[in-house]
Structure 1
Amino acid sequence: MTPQHHPGRTAGAGLTHERFADHTVVAISGELDMSSTPSLRERLYVALRDPGMYVIIDLSGVTFCDASGLAMLVGARRRVEGTSTTLILARPRPQTAKLLRVTGLLHAFTIHHSAGWAQTAGSDPRSAAA
């Protein structure tokens, strides 16, 4: 299946997603704050409509994340709860990883810090997630 690109930009933040046969990769970039998350949330929920077996949210491009950004990620997790879809956060930068840790959300998500598997269509990150 050919990946579908759906670029989106707000002031200071962006989101793209690619849908493959069995998974979706969502890449978020920029600042996740009160001004950017409403628009990004809508685009993220669109990406979650038919995600496949798992969704990888690549956070490597996120330069700042506040409580509204965390709320958006928790909302995404809730969207896939009760389905056969697994949500994975990939490559959070140190500030975002620290925020996940100090808020206790580190244990609410499967997080993978490696770059390689997240960009390989067809791999199963659930077996390698840490």
Structure 2
Amino acid sequence: MHSLTPRVRLFSRRLPGHTVIAVRGELDIATTAALRDRILTLLKDMTTPLIIDLSGVSFCDASGLRLLVGTQRRARLHGVTVALAAPRPHVRKLLRITGLDHAFAIHATVAAAQRSHAHAPHSSAA
């Protein structure tokens, strides 16, 4: 676990064939810089598909969306695919309204994202 600010925490774990980054708290202008730095550090050595668990995100603004898009772009440079898992209804709505639901593979659970990535070629969902 990495407590980046009092308002956001990041957990990372490796599962067979995947890396999961779980974000807990608020994704906003006050938290995304620290998150971005930590995620970029994790991406440097990553070779497995990445699942971003959004189930613990209580708030997300444009900065949070920019973080997700930037993470996906950087992951692609490393040949890593990105899927989003378990976004709460307000985050799912934000992804839909902005059209980002078409740029990401979005799954109801981390387990569903694992199953989907296990059967998909290693290419991006965008």
TM-score, with normalisation over the residues of structure 2? 0.84
Deviates more, 1:96-105 or 1:77-86: 77-86
Correspondence list, 1:41-120, <5 A: 41-117=36-112
Deviates more, 1:30-39 or 1:49-58: 49-58
State the SS of the aligned residue for 1:89.
strand
> Higher helix share goes to which structure?
2
Identify unmatched segments of 5+ residues in structure 1. Answer: 1-5
In the other structure, the counterpart of 1:7 is 2
Shift of residue 124 of structure 1?
4.1
Q: 1:50 to 1:21 in 2, by over 3 A?
A: farther
State the SS of the aligned residue for 1:34.
coil
Shift of residue 18 of structure 1?
1.3
Give the Cα–Cα distance (whole angstroms) in 1 for the partners of residues 15 and 110 of structure 2.
18
Deviations 1:3-26 (A, max 9, x none): xxx523312111111134532110
Deviates more, 1:35-44 or 1:75-84: 75-84
- Number of residue pairs the alignment of both structures matches: 120
What RMSD in Å do the two structures reach over aligned CA positions? 2.1
- State the AA in 2 paired with 1:58: D
> Aligned residues: percent identity?
47
TM-score, with normalisation over the residues of structure 1? 0.82
Task: Work out whether residues 43 and 78 of structure 2, in 8 Å CA contact, stay in contact via their aligned partners in 1.
Answer: no
Deviates more, 1:82-91 or 1:55-64: 82-91
Give the Cα–Cα distance (whole angstroms) in 1 for the partners of residues 110 and 20 of structure 2.
13
